[in-house]
Amino acid sequence: MTEEEAAAAANKKEALALKAQGNELYKARKFDEAIEAYSKALELYDGDVSFLTNRAAVHFEKGDYEAAIKDCDAAVEKGRELRADYALIARALSRKGTSLAKLGRLEEAVTAYNKSLTEHRTADTLKRLNEAEKTLKEQTEAAYVDMALSTQEKDLGNAAFKEARYPEAVAHYNEALKRGPPKVNPDAHKLYSNLAACYTKLGAYPEGLKAADRCVELAPDFVKGYSRKGALQFFMKDFEKAMATYEAGLKHEPDNAELKEGIMRCLQAIDRIAHGDATDEEIKDRQARGMADPDVQNILMDPIMRQVLDDFQTDPRAARHHLQNPDIHRKISKLVSAGIIQLR
């Protein structure tokens, strides 16, 4: 070993000792002394990225986030130069992201976290990224709130709806919700109700159902939400669910004619299918929905119910006897309403 190599080895050994000292000082929350130890270690040996990341951690604990970011950047640069382990570079980027988040620079923090995850994925960094993105979204949405513009967009939506310009109405109602979200808008549920009406007109039933669900969630006593939701479920041929929705609305307004009419339509549709008056397409669709229902699947797999169904085919007298059993009667009714069997 040359004299120069020996000196370098001695410096590295002393630097590692200073790092260990700095670690102990950090644990003892003697931050200034820890920073001094890590700085001396860097003067002696610059081939260890952890000297920089550890010093960045101390700056972070002191609340000197700018200094922490500077050290993290230096650690990333040095790490690239030394071809250091990806996990070390990822740690520096993650710490940078956390420092940026503390400074309120969330967009930059999200960028740093994403870069860290590209280098090496950890649950902690992913959690911090999700938190930063959530906070950034909330801040962006809050900054966008303007109730005057929300009202203006709602009025434009109403005008478009009256003129049957339903796609435009959807756009206006969505913008009204962005400008006046439920947190600040006590009438947000009405906007969701209007959206449900638009989607119904457009035949976009799943989207309409989501809007109606949100309406009912925000205002459980607003019966128009139930009528919107029930109508959408009816058009989707989920007659039992539609009937349950109408019945839920009647609990809030027992004399509501629209809800009562909805129930009658559901009963007529179920009766028509049960007595074989539906089209082949309607029957097939109904049966497909029924077979996807776990309750229907369990009934059809029940050995007792298999015998009951066989009796319906071969022994009408036994079938009538079976129907006196409340549980069997309920299961048969379920199969009938699901379109699995028909009564003629």
pLDDT value at 18 more than 70 = yes
Q: Report whether pLDDT(278) > 70.
A: no
Q: Please determine, for residue 113, whether its predicted confidence score (pLDDT) is greater than 60.
A: yes
- Look over the chain and give the mean of its residue pLDDT values, rounded to a whole number: 90
* pLDDT level of residue 339 (50, 70, 90 thresholds): low
Q: State the pLDDT confidence band at 276, using cuts at 50, 70 and 90.
A: low
Strands annotated E in the chain = none
Taking residues 127-150, report their average pLDDT. Answer: 96
Per-residue confidence band for 303, with pLDDT thresholds at 50, 70 and 90: confident
**Distance of alpha carbon 205 from alpha carbon 232, whole angstroms:** 6
Q: What is the mean pLDDT of residues 63-77?
A: 96
Over range 190-219, report the average pLDDT. Answer: 98
Question: Of the ranges 203-207, 242-246, 324-328, which one carries the lowest mean pLDDT score?
Answer: 324-328
Give me Rg for the CA atoms of the chain.
Answer: 34
In sequence order, which ranges of 48-122 are alpha helices (DSSP H)? 49-62, 65-82, 86-102, 106-119
Q: Furthest-apart CA pair in the chain: how many Å?
A: 109
Q: Say whether pLDDT at 74 is over 90.
A: yes
Predicted local confidence at residue 10, as pLDDT: 84
Q: Shortest CA distance to 128 belongs to which of 100, 166, 159, 88?
A: 100
pTM value? 0.69
Average pLDDT over residues 214-232: 97
Give the lowest-confidence range in 227-231, 243-247, 319-323, 327-331: 319-323
Q: pLDDT-derived band of residue 319, with 50, 70 and 90 as boundaries?
A: low
Least confident of 109-118, 156-165, 217-226, 272-281: 272-281
Amino acid at 64: D
Q: The tokens 């607003």 sit on which residue? A: 222
Interior angle at CA 121, CA 115 and CA 122, nearest 5: 120
Short-list 298, 278, 192, 296, CA closest to 237: 278
Is the pLDDT reported for residue 135 higher than 60? yes
Q: Is the predicted pLDDT of residue 243 greater than 80, yes or no?
A: yes
pLDDT single digits (tens) 114-128: 999 999 999 999 999
What pLDDT does residue 325 have? 79
Is residue 299 classed exposed, middle or buried when 0-12, 13-18 and 19+ CB atoms within 10 A define those classes? buried
Mean of pLDDT values over 88-103? 96
Short-list 344, 336, 341, 340, CA closest to 267: 336
pLDDT, tens digit (0-9, with 9 covering 90-100), for 176-188:
999 999 999 999 9
Q: What percent of the chain has pLDDT over 90?
A: 70
